[in-house]
Chains A and B, each alone.
Chain A
Amino acid sequence: QVQLRESGPGLVKPSQTLSLTCTVSGDSISSRGFYWSWIRQRPGRGPEWIGCIYYSGSTYYNPSLKSRVAIALDPSKMKFSLNVTSVTVADTAVYYCARGDTMRPHYDYWGQGVLVTVSS
């Protein structure tokens, strides 16, 4: 059974960097063909794709966030991470990590989500 779990600070100050980690169990993060994604959901809104990283290390980002986002893979630790720089209150959201077998929005496994609040 594949499981994903997000971890990181629940409170970040404006202008600082939001950093989250997703720990994967039950599957190799280096398994061929999988995309490991970050998706967020702001209060009362639909999910928003942030970006993803392929098992090979190639990254793909939402153009609206690309200048502030970085996703990295750490296969040895079965983790992948998300950094969002220069955060504002608009970045307050529940952040999810998820696994997909294509870049299409077909995510078969999700983490439970972590609420990140941007506030001074």
Chain B
Amino acid sequence: QSLLTQPPSSSAAPGQRVTISCSGSTSNIGSNDVYWYQQFPGTAPKVIIYKSDQRPSGVPDRFSGSKSGTSASLAISGVRSEDEADYYCAAWDEGLIGPVFGGGTKLTVL
């Protein structure tokens, strides 16, 4: 049971906008930045959002992150077939005194 809760799956048609949620608590998202990772089968996760809303260079601007209270969201506007992957949120947890990850959301592009 992860400290960060994500919906197990989400789907969208190409070109649509999709939002993936990540729910936490005051000990993690409520007091720390959120990070989002994209993972394709058989590969390591790759950071696509850091410090809640910052994009590393090379990540398309259709990916955006936001945080409010103890929840965070990853939005993908104009979804493409190549965005089909697993997405994980992560944050520092003050109780664990370490990073925690969500259980992941599998995005299917219809």
Contact = CB atoms under 8 A, between A and B. Distances in A.
A117 B43 CA distance: 18
Nearest to B34: A105
Interface residues of B, number: 26
A106 interface: yes
Nearest to A113: B44
Interface residues of A, number: 22
Nearest to A45: B103
Interface in B78-110: 88, 90-92, 96-104
Given A103-B92, A106-B47, A111-B44, A49 B35 contact: no
Contacts, number: 60
- B97, B99, B103 interface centre (most CB from chain A within 10 Å): B99
Given A104-B32, A106-B50, A63 B104 contact: no
Interface in A103-119: 103-108, 110-113
A51 B47 CA distance: 18
A46 B91 CA distance: 13
Nearest to A61: B98
A105 B102 contact: no
B53 interface: no
A80 interface: no
Given A104-B92, A106-B35, A49 B99 contact: yes
13 contacts: A46-B2, A46-B104, A49-B99, A103-B99, A104-B32, A105-B90, A105-B100, A106-B51, A107-B47, A110-B44, A110-B46, A111-B44, A112-B44
